[in-house]
């Protein structure tokens, strides 16, 4: 799993902790508002409280990660978002009971923090300054809210994973995910409607919940359907190539004839580059006799036949490209595209039903 637009801030237990730019912007905005007194009531104490919330979220995600590691699941990173955090696991728990424990430990951590601090707060109340009393009371309250909010039965909250673990005991994992995601989306719609009449902030939360449920459903569907599938299983083996000396006009005609939008540029048993319809479509008519080597991409990402298709899809998405040449022992043996992957998904989905 990758998370775009996030920066690493530190590591703990070998796990990188990253801050999503939206969370970073939120914290920066709050401190700016506090320092320059743009909004009455939002002062430096409130800004510090937001920082404490950040700490609570980190502890929440570390609890998830610790239990996951105990089950032998590798954690790639922890990413902090405005509505919480995400522990990016390299694989999903195979046992629904494991997922249940991993999901529950996060909210439980926040509730335990609140339960421990509340008696302490009652004991020292009045002996601290008003600012410290305010911070402690609201930090306790935030942990309660964070724990309760994450128990909502909707992705990306932990309650969605709790719901899926319950459903997965009674149906296959994909159907359990789809049903849990559907329930999460319906909850988001209800939350948005309530937000229209009572609190517009609920609409923003509803959007995050809806998008999170949809992304979780698609991610799980893809990872499960493509589990164990390798590039060699679905790649196109009969690869049509073009020469670097072919003209733009000749290559465009080849594209329209064979209905493929990208071709490896191959010469002398060596991959020279790759050329796509996007590279050539905007070239003026008076340059159509120019050779494609002037427009091809020379630094080409490649795959190999033994690579997992899930990692190929991630590579395609991250680099915003449509296809990868498949190289084995320095020889072009195939090409794999998003179209190939989508066809494989459709076939495997129809088999599962």
Active-site residues, by number, are 61
- Segments in 259-333 forming alpha helices (H): 277-280, 309-319
Identify each DSSP E strand in the chain by its residue range. 6-12, 15-20, 75-81, 84-89, 262-267, 270-276, 323-328, 331-337
d(CA 177, CA 219): 10
Kind of pairing between the strands at 15-20 and 75-81: parallel
Instruction: Please state whether the peptide bond connecting residue 158 to the residue before it is cis, i.e. omega within 30 degrees of 0.
Output: no
> Dihedral angle at the C-alpha atoms of 146, 149, 154, 160, nearest 10 degrees?
60
d(CA 103, CA 150): 9
Would you tell me how many other CB atoms lie within 10 Å of the CB of residue 206? 22
Residue 99: which residues within 8 A CB-CB, separation 6 or more? Answer: 92, 93, 161, 164, 165, 168
């Amino acid at each position: 799993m990758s998370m775009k637009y996030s920066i690493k801030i530190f590591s703990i237990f070998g796990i990188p902790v990253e801050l999503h730019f939206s969370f970073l912007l939120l914290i920066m905005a709050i401190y700016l508002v506090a320092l320059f007194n743009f909004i009455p009531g939002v002062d430096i104490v409130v800004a510090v409280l937001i920082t404490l919330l950040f700490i609570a979220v980190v502890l929440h995600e570390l609890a998830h990660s610790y239990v996951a590691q105990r089950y032998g699941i590798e954690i790639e990173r922890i990413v902090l978002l405005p509505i919480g955090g995400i522990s990016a696991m390299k694989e999903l728990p195979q046992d629904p009971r494991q997922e249940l424990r991993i999901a529950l430990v996060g909210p439980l951590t926040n509730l335990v923090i609140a339960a421990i601090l509340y008696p302490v707060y009652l004991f020292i109340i009045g002996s601290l300054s008003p600012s410290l009393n305010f911070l402690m009371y609201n930090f306790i309250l935030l942990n309660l809210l964070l724990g309760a909010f994450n128990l909502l039965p909707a992705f990306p909250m932990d309650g969605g994973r709790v719901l899926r673990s319950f459903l997965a005991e009674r149906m296959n994992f994909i159907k359990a995910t789809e049903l849990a995601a559907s329930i999460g989306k319906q909850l988001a719609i209800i939350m948005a409607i309530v937000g229209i009449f009572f609190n517009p902030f609920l609409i923003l939360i509803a959007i995050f919940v809806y998008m999170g449920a949809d992304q979780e459903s698609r991610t799980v569907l893809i990872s499960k359907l493509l589990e164990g599938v390798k590039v060699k299983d679905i790649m196109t083996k009969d690869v049509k190539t073009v020469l670097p000396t072919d003209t733009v006009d000749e290559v465009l005609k080849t594209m329209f004839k064979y209905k493929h939008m990208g071709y490896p540029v191959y010469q002398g048993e060596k991959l020279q580059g790759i050329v796509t319809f996007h590279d050539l479509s905007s070239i003026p008519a008076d340059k159509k006799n120019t050779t494609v080597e002037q427009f091809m991409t020379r630094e080409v990402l490649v795959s190999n036949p033994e690579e997992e298709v899930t990692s190929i899809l991630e590579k395609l998405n991250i680099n915003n490209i449509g296809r990868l040449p498949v190289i084995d022992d320095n020889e072009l043996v195939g090409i794999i595209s998003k179209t190939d992957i989508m066809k494989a998904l459709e076939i495997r989905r129809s088999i599962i039903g």
